[in-house]
Amino acid sequence: MNGFFSIAGLRRLRVMTWKELLQLLRDTALMVFFLYSFTGDIYVAASGVSMQLRDAALAVLDGDRSFASRELASRFQPPYFKPAGEAASPDASLRLLDRGDAMAVLDIPPRFEERLTRGEQVPVQLQVDTTNSVLGFLASSYAAQIVGRYAGEVAMLREGLAGSGGPMIEAETRIWYNPNQYDPWFMGISELLTVVTLFSILLPAAAMVREKERGTIEQLMVTPLTPFQILFPKVIAMTLAIVAGTAIALFGVLGPVFDLPMRGSLAAFFLITALYVFTTAGLGLLAATVSRNLAQVGMLTIVILMPMLLLSGAWTPLEAMPPWMRLAAGFSPLHYYLDSAYGILLKGAGMDLLWDSVLAMGALGVTIFGIGMARFNRQFG
């Protein structure tokens, strides 16, 4: 880095950064993919992906056909469930599940009302199509709550406690930061962070490999430029492009279309985004040192991206992971960026709460970039 902060060094940095931006803008296919990812892809993810149960088709196999059985079946209503008719027999209920005409079948046994009246315990079966395990789990959970609430009401009526003002426990749930559990907020931010991660790896790697394919890297090495002055402008240029794409996603899609609140400091968010891009760009430069063409860069990007996503906590909470995976998540920059992004945008958190995540991200960035620099020096030094 000798002379990097001199007038000549800063001029070289400016010229090389502008060169990288021009090369990126001239790559039409990559720019179309870039713009779509920060607009159309985020819109589709926010509007089309839901982690909540909505209008699950439920058929009823009523073996009792009594007032009590009809009352229980009537409790399964929108927005969670929608009626899908009746099944005439157990075999017919299985066919409904197999064909996908119903997601769940409520099986009410014969003599249901009679046994309830006598105070007996009556098992009720719910058959659930768990092809989609998340929605299947939600369907069984909501169904258990509905049946449990109905059983409690029946028990109170039998004991003559209904309306008597007897002791009751009532749970009140208060949801913070996203009180309506509006999926587009979570899914939109999650997809934005995924896109930022993808291009933080892909763009610097593609810029470096493009130099290798065209043979211009050797020309750069014989100039007065140092390896740092060759690599760092690529990171700066791609950081500027990705931060601009993030601004387009926030102010062009998530804000006006989905009313994302953005409660915290946007300046802090963009600064942390720039730091995260620098951190992840080191992985791209590492990939470029072992790749010979853009196709190999694309494959290595996927190999690097998927573990980062799985260890970030976006899809699986860290508390649900085995201990060794929670330890490995500490080496994923996306894990810290996720905490910072959700903390700023949805919670309004400041740097006093996020400093540890930012510090860990910066330490990872310096380490990864240093390793990439060392490999570049060995390869072309």
pLDDT of residue 118: 84
pLDDT of residue 381: 55
pLDDT of residue 162: 52
- The answer to whether residues 36 and 81 belong to one domain is no
Residue 176 domain-assigned? no
- The answer to whether residues 273 and 153 belong to one domain is no
Tokens of 52: 């909540």
For residues 203, 207, 212, 213, the Cα torsion angle rounded to the nearest 10 degrees is 80
- The answer to whether residues 75 and 22 belong to one domain is no
Q: What is the CATH number of the domain that holds 127?
A: 3.40.1710.10
pLDDT of residue 161: 55
Could you give the number of structural domains in the chain? 2
pLDDT of residue 186: 86
What does the radius of gyration of the chain's CA atoms come to, in whole angstroms?
Answer: 28
- The answer to whether residues 20 and 68 belong to one domain is no
Residue 237's domain spans which residues?
A: 7-49+181-380
| 68, 70, 79, 195, 249 from 150: Cα distances, Å | 10, 12, 18, 45, 46
The sign of the CA dihedral 280, 281, 282, 288 is positive
Residue 173 domain-assigned? no
- The answer to whether residues 193 and 139 belong to one domain is no
- The answer to whether residues 153 and 215 belong to one domain is no
Residue 135 domain-assigned? yes
Select from 159, 194, 228 the last residue of a domain: 159
- The answer to whether residues 66 and 27 belong to one domain is no
DSSP label at residue 82: E
- The answer to whether residues 42 and 71 belong to one domain is no
Residue 141 domain-assigned? yes
Name which of 191, 193, 179 is nearest 339 in CA terms. 193
pLDDT of residue 271: 94
Residue 169 domain-assigned? no
Select from 125, 159, 193 the last residue of a domain: 159
Residue 315 domain-assigned? yes
Residue 337 domain-assigned? yes
pLDDT of residue 156: 78
Tokens of 129: 């199509």
**pLDDT averaged over consecutive 10-residue blocks of the chain (381 residues)?**
64 86 88 93 82 85 91 90 89 90 92 87 90 85 90 78 58 78 85 92 86 74 76 88 95 92 91 91 84 83 86 78 85 88 90 89 86 75 55
On the CB side of 221, how many CA atoms lie within 13 Å of its CA? 13
- The answer to whether residues 239 and 328 belong to one domain is yes
Distance (Å, whole) CA 152 – CA 307:
46
pLDDT of residue 66: 92
Residue 80 has φ and ψ, to the nearest 5°, of: -80, -40
On the 0-12 / 13-18 / 19+ scale of CB atoms within 10 A, 163 is exposed
- C-beta atoms surrounding 67 within 10 Å: 9
pLDDT of residue 110: 92
pLDDT of residue 166: 55
Select from 92, 126, 159 the last residue of a domain: 159
Confirm if 298 and 201 have CB atoms less than 8 A apart. Answer: no
Residue 367 domain-assigned? yes
Q: Look up tokens 């700066």; give the residue.
A: 236
